[in-house]
Structure 1
Amino acid sequence: CSKDESDYGWYTTKIKINNSDLKNEEDKPAVRVASLGHAFHVWLNGEYLGNKHGSHDEKSRWSLSGACFYCFLCAKPSDAFPWVALHLQDVDITKTLDYLTAIAILGFSLIVSILRTFDVRVEAARVMVSPPVLAFVTSHIISMFTGWNMIVCVAMGVAQIFLWARWAAVSRHPSNWKLWVVVIASCLAMVLEIYDFPLRMKAHSIWHLATVPLTVLWWSFIRDNVEFRTSSLLKKSKT
């Protein structure tokens, strides 16, 4: 399909953006490049969790496999954000890689949200949940179509927001407020991504800027969650 037919990023809800307005105007480059840092920040902080709780100690009785799962969820955007920054150059290959990494991240995080929200602990049940999502994401990546990519990404994003909102509503986690902030702010940020209405910085640029504090807060919740679950399990093992 042609660029005019498929590339949703070249349009707003009411007006078509001219090529001169794309990617390299106002604060977009700075915002996108600034987004690179926070993905690496949350990835490298995984070392903190492992050392603090002894997951790097072979003699440790407790293994943070769940924490490693979350760490990978934060590490995967480290691959995506360089393509977001390179997308500034408007090259087809970097644009495609940007979209493909986005769908891969959303697919993996959807698996995490399902397993966490419904508290799926049985290994056989986990195996049944993951393959359908992975197959869907893989088939979508193989048959790349940008317009369809937008619909699928939004659908998976909305599904994750509802799943995490449900978990926050029924759980009594001490850091629930962080999750609620991420859920509500993600809804608002998604509006900026879908309806790219013109502002001083452009709505799409504001969306990129919003991902920085949201990811840091999200990682803060993940770290609190791992510490909370670890302390709970250690207390149970001592009783």
Structure 2
Amino acid sequence: MQEPFSVLFSLGNLVAHYNGLTKIRGSIPAAYPLRRYYEMFAYFGIATWIFSAIFHTRDFRFTEQLDYFAAGAGVLYGMYYTPIRVFRLDRPTPRRRSFLRIWTVTCCALYAAHVTYLKLWRWNYTYNMAANVIVGLIQNSLWSYFSLKRWSATHRSWAIWPGIAVAWIMTVMGLELLDFPPLWGALDAHSLWHLGTIGPTILWYNFMVKDSQENIANADWIKDIKA
């Protein structure tokens, strides 16, 4: 095992996503329109951290590509479902449905172009990092906006959890930029970055459940289903 701490903390993230999926299924009704998007978020997270653990166990070109493509899919899916929740694109109005179709095709095309460029044109580390950072910043900005808006409307403490998670992730992201020689030949900045993402992941699933329960209590989702 080449990077044991990175493997360990990748598995920690995997467990956080798996537990989050279990929490979603146990706390949110299957008929709730946003549940399938939250479940897909968990599936992408699970896949991302499985391939991360494999890559950090043994660094081959194939395992590296799996890690990068899974991570890119996870980050891009995060940007995909963010406006669906923030702007409620899941609601069955003609305009929202049209925009959702366009948004879905756009995100699929962006991912296909991303993989094609890296696989067939050039394996570019700088581009890959920049693409993931830009996509992450876009969704983080939307969640910060949503968090402020949601808290202003509800004054519930859980409404600020997305903002806390975003700030947390942005802080630990500095570990990717401020590298240092591995301690004991194993614990490096990258592994600590993986450790730092476990807490926000747990907080995020707790927010999903609280936010869904609030919407369910307002019964708006039942009107959407009947529509």
1:93 and 2:62 aligned: yes
Q: Give the gaps of 5 or more residues in structure 2.
A: none
**In the alignment, which residue of structure 2 is the partner of 1:191?**
174
Cα deviation, residue 198, structure 1: 4.4
Percent identity between the two aligned chains: 20
Among 74, 77, 94, the residue aligned to 2:45: 77
What is the CA–CA distance in structure 2 between the aligned matches of 1:131 and 1:235, rounded to whole Å?
A: 25
Larger helix proportion, structure 1 or 2? Answer: 2
Q: Counterpart in 1 of 2:13?
A: 35
Between the two proteins, the alignment pairs up a number of residues equal to 205
Name which of 25, 28, 33 aligns with 1:65.
33
Distance 1:186 1:140 in 2: 23
Amino acid at match of 2:33: S
The answer to whether residue 27 in structure 2 is matched with residue 44 in structure 1 is no
Within 5 Å, which residues of 2 pair with 1:82-161?
Answer: 82-88=50-56, 89-120=58-89, 121=91, 122-144=96-118, 145-147=123-125, 148-161=127-140
AA matched with 2:19? H
Contact 2:55 2:64 (C-alpha < 8 Å) held by counterparts: yes
Higher Rg of the two aligned structures = 1
Q: 1:178 to 1:198 in 2, by over 3 A?
A: farther
Amino acid at match of 1:74: A
Distance 2:61 2:164 in 1: 35
Deviation sequence 1:69-100 (CA, Å, 0-9, x none): 11211221111111111112112111110100
User: What CA deviation, in whole Å up to 9, does each residue of 1:75-133 have, x standing for no partner?
Assistant: 21111111111112112111110100111111111011122233434211211222112
Which deviates more, 68-77 or 222-231? 68-77
1:165 and 2:144 matched? yes
- The answer to whether the aligner puts 1:204 opposite 2:161 as a matched pair is no
1:42–1:219 Cα contact (<8 Å) kept: yes
Equivalence for 1:58: none
CA–CA distance in 2 between the matches of 1:43 and 1:155?
Answer: 27
Contact 1:161 1:186 in 2 (8 A): no
Q: Which stretches of structure 1, 4 residues or more, deviate above 4 A after TM superposition?
A: 234-237
CA distance in 1, matches of 2:201, 2:175: 17
Contact kept? 1:73, 1:108, Cα under 8 Å: yes
Cα drift, residue 199 of structure 1: 6.8
Cα contact 2:76–2:107 (8 A) shared by 1: yes
1:215 to 201, 206, 216: 201
Distance change (3 Å), C-alpha of 1:28 and 1:79 = closer
Indicate if the aligned counterparts of 1:107 and 1:134 stay in contact, CA closer than 8 A: no
Unaligned runs of 5+ in 1: 1-21, 56-62
SS at match of 2:173: helix
Q: Which letter maps to 2:166?
A: V
**2-side partners of 1:207 and 1:156: how far apart?**
18
Q: TM-score normalised to the size of structure 2?
A: 0.81
